[in-house]
Structure 1
Amino acid sequence: MDFQLKTLSTAQAATDKTDALIVLVPDGAKAAAPSKADALATAIDAVRQAGDLPAKAGKLLALYRPAGVTAPRVLLVGAGDGSAGAVRNAVGAAVQAVKAAAPKRVTLLLPSGMDGLAVRAAVIAAADASYVYTTTKPKVEARSIRQVVLGVADASAVKSAFAEASATVAGIELAKEWGNRPANHCTPTLLAGAAQALGALPRIQCEVLGPKEVAKLGMGSFAAVAQGSSEPLRFIVLRYQGAAKDQAPVVLVGKGITFDTGGVSMKPAAEMDEMKFDMCGAASVLGVFRALGELKPAINVVGLIPAAENMNDGKALKPGDVVTSMSGQTIEVLNTDAEGRLILCDALTYAKRFAPAAVIDIATLTGACVVALGGVRSGLFSSNEALATALSAAGDRAQDLCWRLPLDDEYAEGLKSNFADVANIAGRAGGAITAAKFLQRFAADYPWAHLDIAGTAWKSGSAKGSTGRPVGLLMSYLMARAAEGASAPAAPRKAARKARATP
C-alpha cells in the first residue's frame, strides 16, 4: 500500500483527481460559510443541516458526482468525537464501503484539529480494511486500492506520526502474511527464511540456529516439543541496532509453533485448521523488525523466535515425560498441548545473555485468555510496574488494546510437581494466569512482560484471518522508548562480548 500525506483543504480536496473521496465529519464540526469556491464544504454543510449524516462514528452517506467535485464518488462518514478510536471505526467502515467500486486511488480527508494519534489510526484502519491475502490464492487479484492520499490541515505537523503509521502498516501486513499462510507454506525453515530476508534492511542482522545448536545450548524443553515432527526446529535471532552498542536492548520473544495438533494431547478436529495461527507471536516479531528497518529509530532491539511444529510420531513428547530446560529446571509435561510455554521458557533463558532492559514475550498461549478477554484486548502480565504501565499506554495510543491480569504467587500452587521442579500446566481455573506464572519462573533476571494474544491474533468465521496484532502496540512502545532515549543501564562490555561469543 502506497500512502501519501498532503495538506488539503476542502476546496483543494474537491479538485483532487481521485477515484474516491472519503471525508470525515466529526460531531460538532463548525458549518462552513456558503461559498461557490468551496463546493465540497457547501455540500457537507447542507447535509449536516438536513440531518442526513448521523454523528456516530462509521455512519456513511454516499454522494455520486456532486456538483463542483472532481471525484466521481464522495463518501461522507461520521467521525464521532474525532478521537483515535472513532477515526479508526470511521475510516474502516468507509474504506470497506468504497472497495466495492474497486478504486485504485482514494483520498481520505481528515478535518482540522486531528492529532497524530488520529492520523495513525486513519492510516492503519485504511490498510486493514483494504488488505487482501493472495499467497495461496493465485486467481484472486491483490487489493484494488493501490494508493491512499491522506489530506490534513497541516501535513508538516503530523509528518512523524504519519511516517510511524506507514511503517507500522508494513509490519502489520508482514505479520498478517505469515500468520495467514497455511502450515505447509510456513514451516519453521520457511519462517526462518522470512527472518533472514529482513537482514537486507538497514541495521538488522539475523542468525538461525538448528537442532544441533539448540541441543548444544541445552534447550531440552524446546527440543522436546519439536521431536514429534519431521520438520526440523529453528531458533531465530534477530538484532536491530539503532543506538550505541552499550545500550541495553529490548528483547521480543515470539512463540513460533507453525502448526499445533496438540501433540499426544490431541486437539479436537473442529477448527484445528486455525492452529496455523499459533505462530502469530513470531509473526508479530517479524512485523516489528520490518517496521524498525523502515523507521530506523535510536533503540536496540533483539527478536527471539523458537519455531517448531507440535506433531505426533513415535518420538513425540508424552504426558508424564520430564524434560530439562536451558535454565536447568526440570519440567513435568502433564499436557503436550501446553507446548507454547515449553518453547518460550528456553527462549526467555537465552534472552538473559543480552543483559536486556526489558523482555516481552508474545504468544497465542491460552484459550483461557480468550474466555477472559475475548477478541478485544490482549492479556498483559508483568513482574515490573513501569513496564506494564508503558505497554498499557502504548496499546491505548495504538488502538491495539491490552488488559493487565494478576500474577499473585498463589496462582503458582497448581504447577507443583512430585516428579520435577515444575509442571507445565495447572488446573482449568485461571489458566491464562497459571501459564504466565510458569513463564515468570524463567524471567526473574530482568524486567519482563507477557502478552497472551490468543484472542486477538486472528479472527474466525467469515472474517477468518490474522489481525497482525500486537505489532501496533509493540511499535508504539518501542518508539516511545526511543523518544525517551532508552536510558536503561547496559551490561558491562566484557560480559556482553562473552555472551555474544556463546553459540
Structure 2
Amino acid sequence: MDFSIKTIDAKSALTAHKAIKTGCIVVGVFENKKLSAVAAGLDKHGAIAAALKSGDITGKIGSSLLLRNIADIAAERVLLVGLGEEGSTVTEKAYQQAVQAAARTLLNLGSNDVVLALPSIKDRDISATVRGAVIAFRESIFRADSLKSKKDTAPVGVKKVAIAVATTEATLAKTSLLQSIALANGMDLTKELGNLPPNVCTPTYLANTAKQIAADYKMGVEILDRKQLQALKMGSFLSVTNGTVEPPKFIVLKHMGGKVKDAPVVLVGKGITFDSGGISLKPGAGMDEMKYDMGGAASVIGTMRAIGEMKLKLNVIAVVPSCENMPSGSATRPGDIVTSMSGQTIEVLNTDAEGRLILCDALTYAERFNPAAVVDVATLTGACVTSLGHHNTGLFTRHDAKHDALADELLAAGKETGDTAWRMPIEEAYNEQLKSNFADMANIGGPAGGSITAACFLERFTKKYTWAHLDIAGTAWKSGAAKGSTGRPVPLLTTFLMNRAG
C-alpha cells in the first residue's frame, strides 16, 4: 500500500466537489447532522446532507456510509464516516475509530486510490493524524497466513492512500509519513515474529532476524552462544535452558546513530520463544499462546527495524536473551539455587517464573554500555493482566527524580501514540515477599501483587543505571477469534526514542 500527502487549502475545501478527483474520498460527518469542512465543500447539491437527514448515517463514531456517482462530484465515490460530536477538530478516539472504519470499508472496494480528508485530531499536531491513518490502513491489510497451504483471499481494494492536510502542515506531514511507514514496518515485523509457531521462531530464528536487520540498516550485531554465556557466568539465564535441546541465543544489536560519545539507550527484550512452564508445567488449555512469550524480544527487534529505517540520530542498543523453557530430566527444578551474572543467588521456587531469570542476567550485562537509560520489555506476569487488563502496559521504575523523568517520557510516548502504559508502584515493602531462607532471593513472591514483586526482583539488578520495566503480558497479543500479536509496544518504544533524539 502506497501512502502520500495531499495538500488542501481553505479554497480547495470549498471547491472539493470539483478539485479532488479520486476513486474515493473519505470525509467526516457529525452526530448533529453537521458536515466537516471538506464534506461541506463536496455537498453542492445536498446529497450528503440528505443522507444524514434520512438517518442512513447517524454521525456516531465509527459509523460509515458509501455513496456513489453523486452529480457534479469529481470523486467516483464518497465514503462518509461518523466523528461523533461536532467540532472543527476531533478527539483521538473518534479519529482512530473513523479511520479504522474507513480502512475496513475500503479493503474490498473496487477503487484503486483514496483521499482521506478527515479533520485533524484535537490539540495534536498533524503527525498524530498521519500516524493514525498509516497504522490503521496497514493493520487492515496485515495477514498471518504465511504458513497456510491455501492462502486467505487477498484484498483487492485500495492500493494508494493520499492523506489530506492543510498547506501549512505539509512539511511536517511528509516527515511524519516517512516515520509512520517505518513504524508500521516495525510493528509488522513484531507481529510476524509473534505469530510464527515456536518450531519456526526459535532463538536461532530471532538471532538470524537480528542479523538481517543489522545488514539492512548498517547496525552492529553480536550473537552469544552457550559457551560464551557460561564464560560470562550467566547462571540464571542458563538455568532456564537446561530442559531444552534448542540452543540459547543472546542477541546484541547496535544502532549507533548518535554522537560517538553519547551514552546509549538500552532496550532489553524477553525472548522466551516457547514457555511450557518447565517442571512447574502450565495447564494445557491455551498453552499454544505461550509462543507469544517472546513478545518483548519481538517488540524490541521491531523497534530497532523502525529506527533503522528512520536513520534515527540516537545510540540505541537492543539486548535480547532468548531460549525455550521446557521440562525434561535435565530441567531446572523447583528448589534449585542458581547464581546470576551479578553474583546474587536465586532460589527457584517456580520454574514458570523464568522470564525474570533470563532478564536479570541481561540487565547485568547492560551495565557495560554505561547506558543513559535501560528499558526492559517482557510478557512477564499474568498478574499484570489482572491489574490492568488488555488496555495498558504496566510501567515500573524507582521513585526519584531521574526515574520519575524516565517514567514520564515513556508515559507521554504511550499517550502520544495510543499505545498507553500505566505506572505501577515499586516499594521496599514488596521486597519482603522475595525473601529466601537459602539464597539471596526467591524468584517469586506469591500471588499477592505478583507483577509488582516481579518488577522488584528485576530492580535488584539495575542499581547502576536509570531503568524502567514494561510488563506487556496484557497488551502484546489478543486471544479468541482475533488471536494474534498486536505489535505493541513498538509505537510507545519508537516514539520514546524519537522524542529522545529530538
Please, what TM-score do these two structures have when normalized by structure 2?
0.90
The aligned residue for residue 257 of structure 2 is 242
The aligned residue for residue 118 of structure 2 is 110
Deviations 1:271-326 (A, max 9, x none): 11111111111010111111111111211100000110111221111101111111
1:102 Cα deviation (Å)?
6.8
Bigger drift between 151-160 and 299-308 goes to: 151-160
- The alpha-carbon distance between structure 1 residues 27 and 390, as it changes in their structure 2 partners (threshold 3 A), is farther
8 Å CA contact retained: 1:5, 1:150: yes
Match of 1:134 among 134, 145, 165: 145
The aligned residue for residue 487 of structure 1 is none
1:73 Cα deviation (Å)?
4.2
Cα distance in 2 for partners of 1:33, 1:355 equals 52
The aligned residue for residue 124 of structure 1 is 135
1:437 aligns with 2:452: no
The aligned residue for residue 4 of structure 2 is 4
1:108 Cα deviation (Å)?
2.1
The aligned residue for residue 102 of structure 2 is 94
1:221 aligns with 2:204: no
1:58 aligns with 2:69: no
Match of 1:457 among 476, 494, 497: 476
Provide the aligned length of Structure 1 versus Structure 2: 482
Q: 1:170-209, aligned counterparts within 5 Å?
A: 170-209=185-224
1:355 aligns with 2:370: yes
The aligned residue for residue 282 of structure 1 is 297
8 Å CA contact retained: 1:14, 1:40: no
Deviations 1:226-258 (A, max 9, x none): 121111000000100111111011100001000
1:71 Cα deviation (Å)?
5.0
Deviations 1:462-483 (A, max 9, x none): 1000000000001111111110
1:103 Cα deviation (Å)?
5.6
1:195 Cα deviation (Å)?
0.7
8 Å CA contact retained: 2:17, 2:43: no
Bigger drift between 71-80 and 393-402 goes to: 71-80
- The alpha-carbon distance between structure 1 residues 360 and 27, as it changes in their structure 2 partners (threshold 3 A), is farther
Cα distance in 2 for partners of 1:70, 1:291 equals 37
| Equivalent AA in structure 1 for residue 139 of structure 2 | D
8 Å CA contact retained: 1:32, 1:41: no
Report the secondary structure of 1:473's partner residue: helix
| Equivalent AA in structure 2 for residue 435 of structure 1 | A
8 Å CA contact retained: 1:134, 1:142: no
The aligned residue for residue 82 of structure 2 is 78
- The alpha-carbon distance between structure 1 residues 70 and 313, as it changes in their structure 2 partners (threshold 3 A), is farther
1:267 Cα deviation (Å)?
0.6
Match of 2:500 among 470, 474, 481: 481
Bigger drift between 12-21 and 257-266 goes to: 12-21
Match of 2:418 among 399, 404, 416: 399
8 Å CA contact retained: 1:254, 1:304: yes
Q: 1:236-275, aligned counterparts within 5 Å?
A: 236-275=251-290
Cα distance in 2 for partners of 1:91, 1:244 equals 39
Please, what TM-score do these two structures have when normalized by structure 1?
0.90
Cα distance in 2 for partners of 1:469, 1:312 equals 29
1:34 Cα deviation (Å)?
10
8 Å CA contact retained: 1:132, 1:143: no
Match of 1:422 among 427, 436, 441: 441
8 Å CA contact retained: 1:33, 1:42: no
8 Å CA contact retained: 2:30, 2:36: no
Bigger drift between 123-132 and 4-13 goes to: 4-13
The aligned residue for residue 163 of structure 1 is 178
Cα distance in 2 for partners of 1:253, 1:86 equals 34
1:300 aligns with 2:318: no
| Equivalent AA in structure 1 for residue 442 of structure 2 | A
1:52 Cα deviation (Å)?
4.6
Bigger drift between 445-454 and 71-80 goes to: 71-80
- The alpha-carbon distance between structure 1 residues 283 and 102, as it changes in their structure 2 partners (threshold 3 A), is farther
Cα distance in 1 for partners of 2:75, 2:311 equals 37
CA RMSD of aligned residues (A): 2.4
Cα distance in 1 for partners of 2:221, 2:155 equals 31
Cα distance in 2 for partners of 1:67, 1:385 equals 58
1:98 Cα deviation (Å)?
2.8
Cα distance in 1 for partners of 2:367, 2:131 equals 34
Q: Return 5+ residue gaps in structure 1 as ranges.
A: 484-503
| Equivalent AA in structure 2 for residue 231 of structure 1 | E
Cα distance in 2 for partners of 1:318, 1:33 equals 66
- The alpha-carbon distance between structure 1 residues 25 and 39, as it changes in their structure 2 partners (threshold 3 A), is closer
Identity of aligned residues (%): 52
The aligned residue for residue 397 of structure 2 is 382
1:30 Cα deviation (Å)?
5.9
1:4 Cα deviation (Å)?
1.9
Q: Return 5+ residue gaps in structure 2 as ranges.
A: none
Deviations 1:159-201 (A, max 9, x none): 2222221111111111001011011110100111111100123
1:468 aligns with 2:487: yes
Cα distance in 2 for partners of 1:281, 1:204 equals 20
Report the secondary structure of 1:4's partner residue: strand
